[in-house]
Amino acid sequence: MTETPGQTVGPFFHHALAYPGDSELVPFGSAGSVVLHGYVHDGAGDPVPDAMIEIRQADASGVVPAVGGSLRRGGAAFTGWGRSCTDAAGHYWFSTVEPGLPFFAVTVFARGLLDRLFTRIYLPDAPGAMEGLIATREADGRLRFDIHLQGPSETVFLTFPRT
């Protein structure tokens, strides 16, 4: 059997896939929490107002949770998974913890893409992290990482073999 070709992966996210609390892996402002945020830009540098970013990460001790993502966190154990749709300015954000493994695994969905894109966001002090995949720590402690889908500042995207 041959593989079915991909279809564009957007721009229906805000209407079909977003849900309350999707970007809060831990409650915003809770002890030990950090905000991971940034902007998604197209090849011309313009904001992408209808992208969706998903993250998967280890907890603060470096353990990747063995539970699936949850639409109903409500006091449930940390799942290590979250989803954030961009706003009109192309901004996304997560309230989470800094992972003990020093990176966030990231999936990007956006209009015009035939398949999702994969990348990583490394903590600022991560040893051996690739240039262009390192978040910036802002004065207030938030982590910022902008995603550029194309152009001279294009984010490094990873490929994975299909099975």
Instruction: Kindly tell me if the per-residue pLDDT of 8 is higher than 90.
Output: no
At 98-140, the pLDDT tens digits run: 999 999 999 999 988 888 899 999 999 999 899 999 999 999 9
Query: Torsion angle, CA of 113/67/64/105, rounded to 10 degrees?
Result: 10
At 60-76, the pLDDT tens digits run: 999 998 876 666 666 66
Query: What domains sit in the chain, N to C, each tagged with a CATH number?
Result: 13-148 (2.60.130.10)
Judging by DSSP bridges, how do beta strands 147-148 and 52-56 pair with one another?
Answer: unpaired
C-alpha span between 15 and 20 (Å, rounded): 12
- Give the count of alpha carbons within 13 A of 78, CB side only: 21
| pTM, 2 dp | 0.89
